[in-house]
Amino acid sequence: DAKTTQPPSMDCAEGRAANLPCNHSTISGNEYVYWYRQIHSQGPQYIIHGLKNNETNEMASLIITEDRKSSTLILPHATLRDTAVYYCIGDLAGNTPLVFGKGTRLSVIA
């Protein structure tokens, strides 16, 4: 699994876009980039994943650089309920477990 590097913490004003970066320079060609988040005292929640192309769903957008060495998760209009720890994880989508790094603690501020 690729090692990922994320900033330990970020702040974002409510209603503004939150842009969370992730470096994954050792990612292999068949590894997906996954994003999960963990709200305090809950289990992690899937957000989005991608391989090469940018992806968008009802929660977020994922921008992956052409060389796949980094990506950015975008929450277009952050709310207080988006305050959580966000994890960027490289995953082969096989039957191996997710390995969690330290993630980014996003604080959305009113």
Partner 1 sequence: GAVVSQHPSRVICKSGTSVKIECRSLDFQATTMFWYRQFPKKSLMLMATSNEGSKATYEQGVEKDKFLINHASLTLSTLTVTSAHPEDSSFYICSARELKRFHFGNGTRLTVT
Residues near partner 1 (CB under 8 A):
32, 34, 36, 38, 41-46, 49, 87, 93, 95, 97-103
Comparing CB distances to partner 1, the nearer of 13 and 28 is: 28
Q: Locate 16 and state its tokens.
A: 């503004």
* Angle subtended at Cα 90 by Cα 84 and Cα 91, rounded to the nearest 5 degrees: 110
Question: Which residues sit opposite 62 in a β-bridge?
Answer: 55, 73
Q: Name which of 78 and 103 has its Cβ closer to partner 1.
A: 103
For residue 100, the minimal CB distance to partner 1 (Å) is 4
Q: Of 17, 13, 12, whose CA–CA distance to 77 is shortest?
A: 17
- Write down the least CB distance from residue 7 to partner 1, Å: 15
Q: Least CB distance from residue 38 to partner 1, whole Å?
A: 8
Which residue type does 71 have?
S
